[in-house]
Structure 1
Amino acid sequence: MTNTLDGLSHDIHSEKLAQIQQLMPELFKEGKLDPQALKNFFGDNHDKEERYGLGWAGKSGVFKVIKDRTSKTLHPEQDKSVDWDTTQNLFIEGDNLDVLKILQKSYYNKIKMIYIDPPYNTGSDAFVYPDDYSMSTDQYNELAGDLDDDGNIRKDDNLRKNSKDSGRYHSNWLSMMYSRLYLARNLLTDDGVIFVSIDENEIHNLTLLMNEVLGEENFVEQFIWIKNSTKNNSKTTSTNHEYILCYAKNKSTVEEKQIFRIKKPGLQEVYDLLESFEKRQLSIQEAEKELKEFYKSRPDLKGISSYNKVEYVTQKSAPEAPRHLQAYTIDNASAPVSSGTGPIYDIIHPKTGRPCVCPSTGRRYTRATMDEHIKNGLIYFYEDETKVPRFKRFLDTVETEVLKSTFEDFTDGKKELLKLFDFNPFDNPKPTTVLQKLLAITNPTDIILDFFSGSGTTAHAVMDLNAQDGGNRKYIMVQYPEDTDEGSEAYKAGYKTIPEIARERIRRAGQKTMEDHNDTLASRETPLDIGFKSFVVGSSNFKQRRADKIDDQTLFGSLEDHLTLIKSHSTPLSMLYELILKHGVSLTEHITTQTFAGKEYFDLGNGSLIVCLETELTQELIDHLLTLGARLILLDEGFNGNDALLKNTHLQCQHNGITLHTL
């Protein structure tokens, strides 16, 4: 099979139409969706009735922006990267709308978690995400009902200007967010989730927006982060919280997999502490004393601090193995009052040999269950029979809890940055501790995306969490090339753009993570990844041939351009990554550069895709390439008008079951 690439990003619109046509071909006439057939099928006879939903001037233009494909691509920046050859992390500089379109094919259904901290639209913050649907004041007023047919300003009860920026700031923000959320949803795995930080300025609009884009049935939670800093308004309240909206791509899948049931905070620290007690050969009394002192020093570990008793326990799966120290708490073994009287029977105290006191409500467990618990060492006896025995609940049997909707985190993101820089490059950076609370739902090999990455907090949090739990999570950071203020400390320190600071923050954070966890990194199965591949959004490496744009004046120039498809600034590596993205291959796929008969080609994923960008192909080279993999990419101009070689290559590919892509 032979395919010709068109040089544009993935056609989401056509793909969705094809999916609908496959499911419901009766809705299409002459290859196009028939709106009337759609209405007839679903019995929609009330299209003129008003319906609940979110609308704004300019909303219709958003769908054009989503549908429009881009010819832009990502250009590799090896000089700005860290551990280029081995890292699985990505940092991309550019407009996130372009980036989300570019990533559609390679990362469709691949991202487990998206976190974004977009502009809060306070009226004072400027977001620099210019889209094609930007409107002039006159255009907005006409859409909003503020101009009549003659251009005179009038008022309309349906939509009025807001006091901030002539009322357009809500609409512009909503349009900007809608297109990006729509494209981002495509990248989520079936059990993937998206978290969006926001404050009171747009929380209500954002909720309606996400209900529409992701489906209100996929709403998970409106998390409330109680923080240390406040916004004071002496006339009303002091606001000391922000919101983090969470939606799933498919909530039923998320619930089925229980991804929001997370390991209790501090669990690994307690296990490490118990292991140290074993190595030091502490007595039970000494171990319990130190464990209680540890809990006292960590008031944040309320979920496990009651597990302050310890005991050497034999593993059921390996009874011959050495016993290990485990922490437990003691629970009530009496029948609850609400259930009436429970079973009443004697339990003999193991030391005194006399029956233990029976609670007035009876025992919680039947005699058979109680005997089994005693046999397995799960019943706690006091010094004598005068107290009711209790149930031992070991920490390793209750390691998880559900993520709470409200949480406190007073960590100062500025102080975290001051540990990396000798100045404060950002006003309100998010602390890594907040991100790690959310990252707790991910698995050790998941991919995390942040397309408003700012200072790079998400990347920092991912690296640090990987160091803590031995994970290999990967991140994709996307940041617009916003200039730093010329009067800022960052600008004076030589950082002219936000991406420059973010990349340096990630470099320094990676080194600090290595230093902070140096004692445990040696035991990892794979080295901690603190690197990243850096890319920048730019124009395509290949000329776009648009027949609909050619006129008599440009025809001759187009014929000259036809002699070569490759732009003068293009490099083999940059062309390779553009083709990788067009073919849905990960940007971190393993690539080896090979040569044959003096010609160069690239082998991706040990033969999953072969790319040869040579402009002078030979039969000998093609014969060799056809032995390497099931997919092959060649440049049309590489055949240099040799129709026989081109036709023979097509026949060879067809005969050998190889998919040939040409550009």
Structure 2
Amino acid sequence: MNDKLDLKSTDITSLNIEKIAALFPNCVTETAEGKRIDFDLLKQELSTEIVEGNKERYRLEWPGKREAIVTANLPTTKTLRPVREDSVDFDTTENLYIEGDNLEVLKILQESYLGKIKMIYIDPPYNTGKDFVYKDNFAKAGNEELLESGQKDEYNQKLVVNPETSGRYHSDWLSMMYPRLKLARNLLTEDGVIFISIDDNEVHNLRKICDEIFGEGNFVANIVWQKKYGPANDAQGMSDTHEHIILYAKNISFWNPILLKRDEKQLAAYKNPDNDPRGVWRASDLSVRTFSENCYFPITGPNGQIHWPPESTSWRISETKFNELLNDNRITFGVAGTARPMQKKFLTEVKDGITPQTWWHREFAADTKIARYEMKDLIPENVFDTPKPSLLIKRCIEISSREGLILDFFSGSATTAHAVMQLNAEDGGNRKYIMVQVPELTTEKSQANKVGYKNICEIGKERIRRAAQKIKESLNQDSQDGKGLNQDSQDLFNLGNQENQANPGSDNVQANPGSNIDLGFRVYRLDSSNMQEVYYKPQEYNQATLDLFADNVKPDRTAEDLLTQIMLDWGLPLSLKIERKTIAGKEVFSVAGDSLYACFDHELDEAFAKEIAKEKPLRIVFRDNGFKDDTAKENVRQLLKQLSPQTEMRVV
């Protein structure tokens, strides 16, 4: 409780704004200074004639929009540094976990992953007035920015609370989301899609900025997910039991959803009571809720009973077409021959799956209770309050990708990574993931902090490790007793639904014990550039100062740090295989075979150049001060041109 007196007189302007807002809520807007009255609109509300004002146009505007666009376009000198000690199977895995501000990370990934991401799922902070939102302020730097954000730690976090009383309540959230979505679009393949979880507070605004960034014509669906079972009796007004998942395509002309497999319940609807040689079938209604005179006719059943379409409807086919189907034994009147006429739909003739729908009930995509049980099953301590169920994200992946890269740049507890590994194990897919999460600190009193998780990234990485181990154990168990991977998920459903007395169905997809699943991940951490500041701004230093920088690489950076930045700068994916070689006594990194060679050792000379030229790499990088002397540097360059003319040489 804050009992400190503010010792200020009443803010009459704010009171008057609130009074006007009570009468004309549409006339209150957000500006750079906070809530204000749109006087042009207020004049119009108080006039019976059209009032001339600003030119009308259909678009979403908010204070800070131009800055948000500029923010997306600003370059960054930051880089990623590998963290081997937190990784699993670093040398062989193609999965990535990146710690850091996702705006900076998305900029860094632009070269290496431009047009290469098949599917994006994000669950960004909801604008509820309590959650944290990211704050991007490039006008302030260093300690001033950290003080302003209230997150003064070694990770340079940029997180602030966005209270409902803020005069820029919607604007700050929009300014946070806009540049990230703009950069994310660049990463999608032409047939790629993005799924965005959101609640009712900003779904309308999210649709508008996505219409602007992705194009209104690339909107696919607003999926409604049943996030909880039953009403909350303590809710004010309506009980909130749903969330939205907004779906956009990069180019809707190139994207079609992957059909979902029929489950046992859906397959059970197909029977063959008349032993039709074409196999099992289900009865399909012949009537349609529109009237067509050409399709309005009587049908005589086997027992002579006359059947007409229901009132105000007609049959969906003409009489000629009906007779064709009847002669081909594709019309049924029930086993007794007394039922309404129906068309037989054979399983062998329908689509090989179910077209996804926009209503995802909890039996289809799980709910928040299942998500908590799932998280607790992996990490028994209650370390994360709002995880999404892996089944929900698996559904998103199922309809969009059998292979390729899956990106989540608000990864939270890393549910998306869990979902990718689980689905690969179930269907033998070859999907890889990139998780990005700012290392937001856990609060001192939280259970996560008490059991040793200092930040959200530590929770996410540990979840991936434990989920991978559980999948590996399930695969081994499956090969022994035939228990499918999905049985573990079903056990969680049953546990989570004991209170609800519900029993959701299972996909009953059996795991393939022969699947070669990638259960590892490489960890990278966002950091300042590996290069000294003089590398980027030499004009700001005089000769005396330059002499202090005998090496333009920062002293605490390793050869792997340099290699990572070079790969990103050259547009190479970080998942490529990296090998270490020794050539003429020097350590050399080989990336994707001969795609890139890098040597950061010192005392390089002509003898080394002759040996490495035999490898004929496409690209090769050295430290600028790594040569024996300036003469050796030039001789190495000339020897490479002569002995391996296709090799492109650069120095850092």
Report the TM range for the smaller structure's normalisation: 0.7 to 0.9
Find the aligned partners of 1:95 and 1:212 in 2 and give their Cα distance. Answer: 24
Distance in 2 (alpha carbons) for counterparts of 1:547 and 1:476: 29
**In structure 2, how many angstroms separate the alpha carbons of the residues matched to 1:624 and 1:344?**
89
Q: Are 1:247 and 2:251 counterparts?
A: no
Deviation at 1:105, TM superposition (A): 0.7
- For residues 70 and 343 of structure 2, the distance between their equivalents in structure 1, rounded to whole angstroms, comes to 66
Counterpart residue identity of residue 260, structure 2: K
CA contact (8 A) 2:272 2:280 kept: yes
User: Given the alignment, which residue of 462, 471, 476 partners 1:513?
Assistant: 471
Partners of 1:366 and 1:629 lie apart in 2 by 69
User: CA separation of 1:399/1:616 partners in 2, compared to 1, >3 Å: closer, same or farther?
Assistant: same
1:559 to 1:346, Cα distance in 2 relative to 1, 3 A:
same
CA RMSD for the aligned pairs?
Answer: 3.7
**Larger displacement relative to structure 2 (383-392 or 122-131):** 383-392
- Structure 2 partner of 1:403: 356
Q: Specify the SS of the correspondent of 2:452.
A: coil
After superposition, residues 21-420 of structure 1 pair within 5 angstroms as 49-132=55-138, 164-228=164-228, 236-254=237-255, 258=256, 260-266=257-263, 270=264, 295=265, 303-309=266-272, 328-331=281-284, 340=294, 391=344, 393-394=346-347, 397-409=350-362, 410-411=366-367, 412=369, 413-420=371-378
TM-aligned CA distance change 1:384 to 1:181, over 3 Å: closer
Cα gap change, 1:488 to 1:381, in 2 (>3 Å): same
Q: Tell me: CA distance 1:212–1:464, structure 2 relative to 1, closer, same or farther (3 Å).
A: same
Amino acid at match of 1:126: F
Shift of 1:427: 1.6
Partner in structure 1 of residue 637 of structure 2: 649
Instruction: Output the amino acid matched with 1:458.
Output: T
Alignment of 1:490-505 (within 5 A): 490-505=448-463
| Paired position in structure 2 for 1:484 | 442
Residue 632 (1) aligns with residue 620 (2): yes
Counterpart of 1:545 in structure 2 is: 534
Match of 2:500 in 1: none
Shift in alpha-carbon separation, 1:396–1:345, aligned structure 2, 3 A: closer
- Assess if the C-alpha contact under 8 Å between 1:380 and 1:392 holds in 2: no
What's the offset of the Cα at 1:314?
A: 10
Distance 2:248 2:403 in 1: 21
Question: Per-residue CA shift, 1:100-132, capped at 9, x if unaligned?
Answer: 011111111011111111111111112354442
One-letter amino acid matched to 1:591: I
CA distance in 1, matches of 2:417, 2:611: 42
**Rounded Cα–Cα distance in structure 2 between residues aligned with 1:115 and 1:449:** 6
Counterpart secondary structure, 1:127: strand
Q: 1:113 to 1:390 in 2, by over 3 A?
A: closer
* Counterpart position of 1:534: 523
- 1:532 CA displacement: 1.0
Distance 1:202 1:555, change over 3 A: farther
Secondary structure in 2 aligned to 1:239?
Answer: coil
Q: Shift in Å at residue 494 of structure 1?
A: 0.9
Q: Secondary structure at the match of 1:223?
A: strand
Q: In 1, distance between residues paired with 2:188 and 2:470? A: 31
Partner amino acid for 1:183?
Answer: L
Could you tell which deviates more after superposition, 327-336 or 52-61? 327-336
Tell me, in whole angstroms, the C-alpha distance in 1 between the residues paired with 2:571 and 2:105.
Answer: 14
Asked whether the equivalents of residues 262 and 403 of structure 1 are also in contact (C-alpha less than 8 Å), the reply is yes
Listed one character per residue, the Cα deviations across residues 317-370 of structure 1 (whole Å, up to 9, x for unaligned) are: xxxxxxxxx7543557999995858999999xxxxxx99999999987588888
- How many angstroms apart in 1 are the aligned matches of 2:635 and 2:519? 47
Q: For residue 121 of structure 2, give the secondary structure of its aligned residue in structure 1.
A: strand
Q: SS of the residue aligned with 2:430?
A: coil
- The one-letter code matched in structure 2 to 1:400 is G
Partner of 1:41: none
Q: Deviations over 1:181-232 (max 9, x none)?
A: 1111110111111111111211122122212222222222121112216666
**Distance between the aligned counterparts of 2:623 and 2:395, measured in 1?**
48
> Which range moved further: 50-59 or 412-421?
50-59
Per the alignment, do residues 314 and 456 of structure 1 end up closer, same or farther by CA in structure 2, a change over 3 Å counting?
farther
Do 2:427 and 2:511's aligned partners in 1 also have CA atoms closer than 8 Å?
no
| 1:590 corresponds to | 577
SS at 1:106 equivalent: helix
1:556-575 matched pairs, under 5 angstroms: 556-561=544-549, 563-575=550-562
Instruction: Look up the equivalent residue of 1:57 and give its one-letter code.
Output: P
* Alpha-carbon offset, residue 178 of structure 1: 0.9
Question: How far is 1:81 from its partner?
Answer: 1.1
Further displaced range: 330-339 or 403-412: 330-339
Q: Distance in 2 between matches of 1:356 and 1:240?
A: 51
CA contact (8 A) 1:335 1:363 kept: no
Secondary structure of the 1:660 match is strand
Instruction: Flag structure 2 segments of 5+ consecutive residues without an equivalent.
Output: 1-53, 142-161, 309-314, 479-483, 485-509
Which deviations, in whole Å up to 9, do the C-alpha atoms of 1:74-93 show, x marking residues without a partner? 11111111122222211111
Q: Distance in 2 between matches of 1:559 and 1:103?
A: 34
> Which residue identity does 1:240 align to in structure 2?
T
Aligned to 1:19: none
Q: In percent, how many aligned pairs have the same letter? A: 38
Amino acid of the residue matched to residue 524 of structure 2? F
Q: CA deviation at 1:509?
A: 1.3
Q: For the structure 1 residues 335 and 72, does the alpha-carbon distance in structure 2 shift closer, same or farther, using more than 3 Å as the test?
A: closer
The verdict on how the C-alpha distance between 1:368 and 1:600 changes in structure 2, with shifts beyond 3 A counting, is same
**2:546 is matched by which residue type in structure 1?**
S
Q: Which one scores higher on RCO, CA 8 angstroms, separation ≥ 6? A: 1
Distance 2:648 2:544 in 1: 34
SS at match of 2:534: coil
Distance, in Å, in 2 between the alignment partners of 1:335 and 1:75 is: 62
| Gap change, CA 1:55 and 1:233, over 3 Å in 2 | farther
Deviations 1:434-492 (A, max 9, x none): 11221112332121111011011111111111111111211111111111111111111
1:358–1:633 CA distance, 2 compared to 1 (3 A):
farther
Q: Which amino acid aligns with 2:547?
A: L
State the distance in 2 between where 1:99 and 1:527 align.
Answer: 29
Deviation at 1:416, TM superposition (A): 1.0
Instruction: Say if 1:72 and 1:539, in contact at 8 Å, map to a contact too.
Output: yes
- Is the CA contact (8 Å cut-off) linking 1:335 and 1:365 kept in structure 2? no
Query: Does the 8 Å CA contact 2:405/2:434 hold for their aligned counterparts?
Result: yes
The residue identity in structure 1 corresponding to 2:375 is L
Task: Measure, in 2, the Cα distance between the counterparts of 1:633 and 1:532.
Answer: 26
Offset from partner CA, 1:261-296 (integer Å, 9 cap, x none): 422342xxx5xxxxxxxxxxxxxxxxxxxxxxxx3x
1:195–1:247 CA contact under 8 A, matched in 2: yes
Listed as ranges, the gaps of 5+ residues in structure 1 are: 1-47, 136-161, 271-294, 296-302, 316-325, 348-353
Please say which of residues 362-371 and 170-179 is displaced more in the overlay: 362-371
Write the distance in 2 (CA, Å) between the matches of 1:204 and 1:335: 34
